[in-house]
Amino acid sequence: MKTVSEYFGNMVFDDRVMKATLSAKVYASLKQTIDEGKELDLNVANAVAAAMKDWAIEKGATHFTHWFQPLTGITAEKHDSFISPSPDGGVIMEFSGKELIKGEPDASSFPSGGLRATFEARGYTAWDPTSYAFIKGKTLCIPTAFCSYGGHALDKKTPLLRSMEALNKQALRILRLFGNATVKRVVSSVGPEQEYFLITKEMYDARPDLRFTGRTLFGAKPPKGQEMDDHYFGVIKPRVAAYMEELNEELWKLGILAKTEHNEVAPAQHELAPIYSTTNVATDHNQLTMEIMQKIAAKHGLVCLLHEKPFAGVNGSGKHNNWSIATDGGQNLLSPGDTPYENAQFLLFLCAVIQAVDDYQDLLRISVATAGNDHRLGANEAPPAVGSMFLGDDLGGVLEAIEKGAPYYGAEKTQMKLGVDVLPKFNRDTTDRNRTSPFAFTGNKFEFRMLGSSNSIACANIMLNSAVAESLKQYADKLEKAKDFEKALHELIKKTIKDHKRIIFNGNGYDDAWIKEATEVRGLLNYRTTADCMPHLLDKKNADMLTAHKVFTVEELNSRCEIMLENYCKTVTIEANTMVDMAKTQIAPAVRHFAADTARDAAAKQALDSAIPCGYEKKLVARLSVIAEGIAEKVESLESAMIELHGAKDVIAESVMIRDVILPKMCELRVYCDEAETLTAKSYWPFPTYGDILFSVK
């Protein structure tokens, strides 16, 4: 049996394989393209394609695909075989540099937001050599970007790569000012923690809402939920452990650095966290991870739920985006060192992030906006929709001292005393962790906690990279002109702290008093829903910044605003239609059936003996009758609203109606149906309950 180190990455055309299969000259040229952004030579591409084909065929691959990430939020692939006809009637296996570099998938059925007409079908995929090709099943998957015939980005990877280049360009300017002439590239890196639920397939198949929408639209609170905190970090059940073991093995084969796994807070909820990697690679890996999670679950008779809020009343699932920036030499630019007060370079990069989060709160909120995540943000397991940053006492003290021009002596090292001699002694960290903050500093990185579990991490990192690049650009523009660099640097850091300290909050983000202070005193934004925030993508300050750094064109921004609002509207429309169908065809008949049988039972008892009390049955039948009428009324009201929705003048008006009319009516219908569940005998109820589902995996 092979060890992990022997099979790790064995399905990836990685640096080890390239060194072994490419000539020294081709390998050196390709590395320059990967590491320094040098243009790819077609002769090099041909050599790489030949080696890649031979390696893939040896691994059992018969097809190749340009693997890309359209604006659907998932991945896409069109498979072509390696075979070409030979003169003797047989076939030969071919794969050229041209096929490696460019593909031409039909783009007509992918979201474009008006970037092309429906009849304009041509699209192009372009190889991303900075992300390794890999084998999935019998197919060689080549990570690519995806654009329209007119050159507009139709995917999430292209703007991500542009944002990384913008960050690199501006960070290098800053490093040169500090005398660093050797760094060739600065990259952002990410480690996304992925939360998910596992339930049995039997339970999933019995719930139309889960099958159609990924979340439960009805469900009364079970007798036991997460109140006892006994699931969090608890012993992993054998069936789940077997699933995690196979998941790790498949991820490791693909070079995905799956590191940590544990039970999360809610029953049936779990988490997987990887080691950090370059942002575009981490994005590819996270998309693969979500896909493989669901495939492996099916093999174990389970279903992996990635919706942000699949169950009301228990924690939803997020995806914590741990983000940092580093040089090609491995220096973490967000590492404060032992004396952050004296580390001017660190302080300037820290200020760049603080300013970016303050100036572009709206873009960060927009980057995580989905109908699913709207249910989660602001609940007690997620950060609020208000943006803020946690720096901790030590860094907070550093910034306060700089602003006031006072000395800072550093936080005192305190040794933890646990009261038992045999236990090891260790120094306490200089700051605590804040799990309620949307954007928390955690030592040498920032943890952006607003992402939903189904989100592509590309969106958040596009905005984060771009916003920080803008801060760095402003700093470089000022400092490059300064006659006295040290003085200008000190004044710049001090002014940035003063101008943007409103975004820093180290307290409880769940406290209602904080939300009031944030919005009414500090003037921070509070966009509760996708309909609230998405139109602000097109605000002048946002469009100017994103186009100036060439991350998006104006046309691409308009398309994304329209696509994201369309997705929001379509998602809720599907949910509303599913609710109507379930309520009309299954819940209401079950309630009426149980009420009728209960009334007949009471009548039969009284017929036998009029002295037999039937007060309970009569009260129950009366309440069930009221509920049945309520369900009918709320269904009719929701259906009428859905008809009115078709008359919305544009997607913004439609999203506002979804927010203000459709979602409240869905909540009203749910109230009646959930009460019906608590009163209807289990044998009559048409679906598994929350108690059944959340505790179904043994």
Neighbouring C-beta atoms of residue 257, cutoff 10 Å: 17
Whole-number Å distance between alpha carbons of 196 and 646: 34
Which residue ranges in the chain fall short of pLDDT 50? 416-418, 423, 425-426, 428-430
**Angle, to 10 degrees, between the axis of helix 663-679 and the axis of helix 554-582?**
30
DSSP string, 57-74: HHTT--EEEEEB-BTTSS
Count Cβ atoms within 10 A of the Cβ of residue 660 and give its class: 0-12 exposed, 13-18 middle, 19 or more buried.
exposed
Q: Look at residue 404 in the predicted model and tell me its pLDDT.
A: 80
- State the DSSP H helix or E strand holding residue 164, giving kind and residue range, or none if neither: helix 157-177
Q: Look at residue 636 in the predicted model and tell me its pLDDT.
A: 97
Q: Report residue 29 CA to chain centroid gap.
A: 34
**Contact assessment for residue 358 and residue 502, using Cβ atoms and an 8 Å cutoff:** yes
Q: Report residue 128 CA to chain centroid gap.
A: 21
Task: Provide the β-strand partners of residue 9.
Answer: none
Whole-number Å distance between alpha carbons of 271 and 193: 7
Residue with tokens 């779990």: 270
Written as one letter, the residue type at 499 is: D
DSSP 3-state of 147: strand
Q: Look at residue 426 in the predicted model and tell me its pLDDT.
A: 40
Domains of the chain: 4-155 (3.10.20.70), 163-209+230-411+436-552 (3.30.590.10), 568-694 (1.20.120.1560)
Whole-number Å distance between alpha carbons of 534 and 657: 15
Q: Look at residue 111 in the predicted model and tell me its pLDDT.
A: 64
pTM for this structure?
A: 0.92
Whole-number Å distance between alpha carbons of 194 and 318: 7
589-628 per-residue burial string, b: 16 or more CB within 10 A, e: under 16? ebbbebbeebbeebeeeeeeeeeeebeebeebbeebeebb
- For the chain, percent of residues with pLDDT exceeding 70: 90
- State the DSSP H helix or E strand holding residue 436, giving kind and residue range, or none if neither: none
DSSP 3-state of 571: helix
Distance set, CA 378 to CA 40, 373, 509, 513 (Å): 46, 10, 9, 13
**Mind listing the pLDDT tens digit for each residue in 143-160?**
999 887 677 888 999 999
| 402 phi/psi in degrees, rounded to 5 | -65, -45
Written as one letter, the residue type at 463 is: M
Q: Which of 697, 695, 677, 675 is nearest to 686 (CA)?
A: 677
Whole-number Å distance between alpha carbons of 173 and 370: 36
Q: Look at residue 416 in the predicted model and tell me its pLDDT.
A: 44
Q: Which of 155, 134, 164 is nearest to 253 (CA)?
A: 134
